Amino acid sequence: MKLNKNYWITTSFTNELIKLAKNNKKIILLDGDLADDADLYNFKKKYPNRFIQNGIAEQDMVSMAGGMSLMGLLPVVNSFASFLTARANEQIFNNASEKTKIIYISLYAGLLPAGAGKSHQSTRDISLMSNIPNMKIYHPYNYLEVKKILNHCIKKEKNNCSIRLSIGPPFKNQAKLNKNYKFVDGCGHVMAKSNQKYIIITYGQLMISQAFMVRELLKKKKILIEIINFPSLNYFNKYWLKKILNNKNKIFILDEHFKTGGFSDIFLSFVNDNNLNKNKTFKKIALDDFPSCGQPEEVLKKHNLDPQSLYNKIYSFIKND
């Protein structure tokens, strides 16, 4: 993977937004003074009249977007997920209750980078956003998937969208998506196949990369675990899921979020409600404490999300099979 910035999720998002805005004059970008972190000033350069700098005033920004969408525009609202989805949650709920459509950029979603600490790491936004009935939440895996998801959100989706964006470059040797990769809302994507009964379901560049490292470690024990990238975090296609889970009986859900109310919780509720859990064991692997501050490796280890800890946990559940 080249380290060209176009391969960053954030930069790719912005490039695609600029492209989509060309033919859709309704797209307006609002920013809470965090455009730098996603190269969103490139949008401003291209469309100065369609970029609103709203300063560090998330509640005001979100309600302003609400007023704009009531008048037929399509606002795209940017701030860090931890500020946007939490501080302005009531405003987001209020907008959603008007049945308009707004796209929220939940920037800096997840555990990493961890240097800024818990005020900035966003590990509860899925829970906050999923409690809004007409809100779809996505977490794209890489530069390619983010384009597909943004296209879906802007062109097809009727609901409000929260697009979680990981900050930072892609990981070294990160698995690629096929260039013909198609994003289908509610469906995942098999990143690594296995005929054995084990599967990891996860999303995002960090967790999928961790999953691949766990897969390598498990191989040494002659265990081959399947990896599913599931970027639609609160909307599931039952039939696709049924097919994927068909021959599996140990399912590990890896979630870059608090254990309560995150992807793993929503996923398990869905599985339960749709009777997809027969003869299967599901394990949630997620955060159960405030996200720690530190270097990526040490923080992952602290939360038992480093490859070795993940391996230990997963192996302990399958070694007696």
Q: Which residues bind other proteins (CB under 8 A)?
A: 28, 49-50, 52, 54-55, 57, 59-73, 75, 90-91, 94, 97-99
Q: Max alpha carbon distance in the chain (Å)?
A: 62
Measured from the CB atom, the residue of 72 and 279 that comes closer to other proteins is 72
Measured from the CB atom, the residue of 4 and 97 that comes closer to other proteins is 97
- Least gap, CB of 103 to other proteins (angstroms): 15
Q: List the structure tokens of 228.
A: 């599913």
Measured from the CB atom, the residue of 63 and 237 that comes closer to other proteins is 63
- Least gap, CB of 52 to other proteins (angstroms): 7
Residues 6+ apart with CB under 8 A from 19: none
- Least gap, CB of 39 to other proteins (angstroms): 23
- Least gap, CB of 37 to other proteins (angstroms): 21
CB 223 within 8 A of CB 318: yes
Measured from the CB atom, the residue of 69 and 162 that comes closer to other proteins is 69
Which of 115, 108, 111, 301 is CA-nearest to residue 202?
Answer: 111
Q: Which is it for the CA torsion 150, 154, 155, 157, positive or negative? A: positive
Measured from the CB atom, the residue of 11 and 95 that comes closer to other proteins is 95
- Least gap, CB of 11 to other proteins (angstroms): 26
Distance CA 211, CA 220 (A): 15
Distance CA 232, CA 244 (A): 15
Distance CA 216, CA 220 (A): 7
Q: List the structure tokens of 99.
A: 């049945």
